[in-house]
Each structure stands twice: as structure tokens, then as C-alpha cells.
Amino acid sequence: MKIRNTEHREEIVLQMTPMIDIVFQLLVFFVFTFKIVLPEGDFNIRMPSSSASQASQPSETPLLKVRLRADADGELAGVQLNDNQFSGENPFLQLHEEIRSMINDAGGPGSTDQEVEIEADYDLKYRYAMNAITAITGEIDDNGEQHKLVERVRFAPLGER
Amino acid sequence: MRIKSRGNTGIVEGDLTPMIDMTFQLIAFFMLVINFSDVEQDQRVQLPASELAKPPSAPYEQPLTIHLTKNDEYIFGGKEMTELSLLKSALLREVQIIKRYTSKKLADVTVIIRADGQAKTGQVQEVIQACQELEFERFALRGKQSDVSTIGGK
């Protein structure tokens, strides 16, 4: 009797082309939708409307007023803390040092309920206001750790000037 | 004379394995870095830098994001506005939606303000004031993170 060879000796060839097509489609999709996301961060500020805050929380410490003046182009023309005018190259650094010395005198950084009000000229570029907030609210030490200085920051109401 | 067949009739296949390996690696990379949640970012706004700007420890619950460009335009809810009054009415609509459909207090809603570094500070204050009039209290002033001191320190 003749025995039939039932074993198929054919090699199974995997079709790579459709897979590679799909993979390239995916790759192209991801490449085109890729967008470098710059890290962003926030300054969290609790700013109730001025009438409500004055009525509810009478502060024991006197309010510090930071005045930011702008020139005609919106560039920074002067920084002032209460009656203390800062001039020179890094007015915000001086402002920071001044506030830090005041806070240190009054019982260590971070432990204060000191409030700072920023009064800026209308046309002043916002980045200077951001610099002022940075100078007021904290500092980064040599180890890269963040220390809080003054947490209560608010803008002066626009109508007052 | 016997003629030898010189032509190689077999199909020449390159080794595709390294290429497919690389391609999968690339796909995996792009899948990991893709970020669909950056809808609140807007390329028209160049944020001011600050070394103290830190990402929020927990995501805000349904924040409102107001953008301010250097051309004095407001962007809220994907719409560009040139007048503060238009922004105010859009905010008022938002307030009514929050009051009607959620149990949240307006004082607990965070308003994220993404203002351009060249925008006017006075305008930012106007936006804050408009929000305060609607009883919003929490504000997040957004800045770009910086590794170097922006106030001139070390």
C-alpha cells in the first residue's frame, strides 16, 4: 500500500508588509502630534475682593506696599517698598533681601501672616509683576529647595489710583 | 554544452527585524511622551519665567483658564475677545452654569491666569477684579518654570 505523505513541507511566510504599513502610519501620527510641552507652574494666590478681605481679616502686621513704576514703553522704571526706593542693577533682588530681613526680624520665614500689596502701573509689562511676586513669595536655597517668605500677596485695587 | 543558470530566482529579502525593532521603540517613545491634556496651553501666550513657579501638587477641579496675549486680547473657552466686557459676560455665563449644575462654591473654583510676559499688568488686574466681582477667590498666576534666578540672584 502506498502511504501518502500528509506532512506539508511548505513554510508559512509571515506577511510583513501590512504590519510595517500600520507601524509607519502610527509612527507618522505620533511624530506629527508630538509637541514639546514646557513645564509650567503656578503661584496660588487667594485674593478675595478687597471689601470682603478688609472686613473679615484685620491683619496685625502692617501692610507692606510694593510700588512698581513703568516708563512709557512699559519697562520697569522703579521699585519701591513702602518709602524705600530701590535702584541699581537688581532692584528685585534688593526688594527680596529687604523683605527677607523684615520677615526674619518678625519671627522667622514662613511663619508670618504678613501681607504684601503690589501696586503696579497699568502699562507695566507683566513679567516685572511676576518678578516682584517671585521676590516677595519665596526663595530657592543652594540645595534647590524652596522656602516660603510671604504667602499673602494681592494687587492693589485699580480704582485707588 | 550545459548552461548554468546564473540568475538567482529566489526572492531576496532584507532582514527587517532591526528596522521593526527601532520603529516599535520610536512608537513606544512617542506614545509615552504624547500629552493630550495640554488643551489649556496656548502658543499665543509666552509666559513669564519664574524659578518659584511650581506645578500644582494636585490637579485643580474644573479650573477656569483665562489667557491674556501681548496684543491685549483675552482668550477664554477657546474664543478670542478684545473687550473686557465680552470676557465678563462669558465669565458670567460660566458662573451661572457652575451655580446651576454643580454644588461647588465659586470661592473654591480656581481661575488660572495665563498672561503673556509682555501683557500689561493693569489688564491682568482688571481680569482679576472682574473675577472677584463674580465672587471668585482662588487665582493661579501661571509662569514658565526656570532653573536660573529671574530676579538676578545666584
pLDDT tens, B102-122?
877 777 888 888 888 888 888
- Cβ contact B121–A129 (<8 Å): yes
ipTM, interface predicted TM-score of the complex:
0.73
Q: Where are the domains of chain B?
A: 45-52+61-145
**pLDDT for res A55:** 46
Distance CA B68, CA B137 (A): 19
For residue B131, the SS3 value is helix
All three cell numbers of A126, joined, read: 507683566
pLDDT at A103: 76
Give the three cell numbers for residue A62: 502692617
Predicted pLDDT at A25 = 92
Please give, rounded to a whole number of angstroms, the shortest distance from the CA of B1 to a CA of chain A: 34
Predicted pLDDT of residue A85 = 79
Ranges of residues in chain A with a pLDDT under 70 are 1-9, 50-61, 105-112, 159-161
Which string of DSSP letters, residue by residue, matches chain A? Answer: -PPP-----PPPPP--HHHHHHHHHHHHHHHHH--PPPPEEEEEEE---HHHHHHH---SSPPEEEEEEE-TTS-EEEEEETTEEE-SS-HHHHHHHHHHHHHHHTTSTT----EEEEEE-TTSBHHHHHHHHHHHHEEE-TTS-EEE---EEEEPPGGG-
Separation in Å, CA of A119 to nearest CA in chain B: 10
Cell numbers given for A45? 494666590
Cβ contact (<8 Å) for A45 and B34?
no
pLDDT single digits (tens) A20-67: 899 899 989 888 887 777 778 888 887 777 665 554 455 566 778 888
Q: Do A158 and B30 touch (CB under 8 A)?
A: no
Q: At what angle do helices B121-133 and A126-137 cross, to 10 degrees?
A: 70
pLDDT given at position B25: 92
Span B2-29, average pLDDT? 77
Q: CATH number for the B45-52+61-145 domain, one of 1.10.10, 3.20.20, 2.130.10, 3.30.420?
A: 3.30.420
- Residue A92 CB-density burial (10 A; 0-12 exposed, 13-18 middle, 19+ buried): buried
| Contact at CB, A43 and B53, closer than 8 angstroms | yes
**Nearest-CA neighbor of A152 among A127, A116, A100?**
A116
Q: Are the Cβ atoms of A26 and B115 closer than 8 angstroms?
A: no
The pLDDT, as a whole number, for residue B37 is 59
Q: With contacts defined as CB-CB under 8 Å, which chain A residues touch B141? A: 42-43, 45, 130, 133
**Are residues B151 and A93, on separate chains, in Cβ contact within 8 Å?**
yes
Name the packing angle between helices A126-137 and A91-105 (round to 10°): 30
> What is the domain partition of chain A in residue ranges?
62-160
Would you call B154 exposed, middle or buried from its count of C-beta atoms within 10 A (0-12, 13-18, 19+)?
A: exposed
- Chain B residues within an 8 Å CB radius of A140: 51-52, 149
**Is A106 part of the contact surface with chain B (CB cutoff 8 Å)?**
no
Contacts of B129 in chain A (CB under 8 A): 49, 157-158
Residue A82: phi and psi, rounded to 5, are 50, -110
